[in-house]
Structure 1
Amino acid sequence: MQKNLHPTYQHVVFRDKAADYAFLTRSTRGSEKTVEWEDGLTYPVIDVDISSASHPFYTGNARVVDTAGRVERFQRRYQRK
C-alpha cells in the first residue's frame, strides 16, 4: 500500500446550528474549529446549514408542488390560436 495516499480518517462533530443539533461521526474532513464533546474529549467541528434534524423532508414539513396546474397554465398562456 502506498504511503500518504489516503486522507486521515478521524472523529468529527457535525453541528446544525439551525436545529441546535450535533452528532459525532468519522470523516476525512477536518476543521480548525474544535468543540468539547459529551465524553470530555475535544473534536474538530464542522458547521452545516441543514441536516436530518432541520430538513423539511425528514421533519414532515415538506410541501407538494402542484405541477399539473403549472403545466395547464403554461398551455393556456401559449396555446396556438
Structure 2
Amino acid sequence: MTGISLNLPEDLSNSLADLAKTNGQTASYLAMDVLRDYIEHEKTLTAQIELAVKEADEGKFATDDQVAAMRARRWSRNAG
C-alpha cells in the first residue's frame, strides 16, 4: 500500500476523526473509503459525459417528446 499525506483544515480533520471513532474505524480507513467512492463516481460520470459527447457528435439528440416525457417523470417523482 502506498502512503499519502494530506494537510486538512482543523475542522475537517476533527470531523473525520469523530466520524471514524463513531463508526469504529480509523481516520485513514474512512478517508480511503470516501476517496474510493468519489473516484468511482467520477469515473462513471466521466464515462457518461464522454458517451453523451460522442452521441451528440453523431447527431443523436433526444426528441422534444422524449425530453417532455423525462421532465414529466422527474416532476412527478419530486412532487411526492
- TM-score, normalising length: structure 2: 0.31
Q: With CA pairs under 8 Å and 6+ residues apart, which has the higher RCO, 1 or 2?
A: 1
The structure that is strand-richer by fraction is: 1
1 or 2, which has the higher helix percentage?
A: 2
Structure 1 length as normaliser, TM-score? 0.30
Which has the higher Rg, Structure 1 or Structure 2?
1
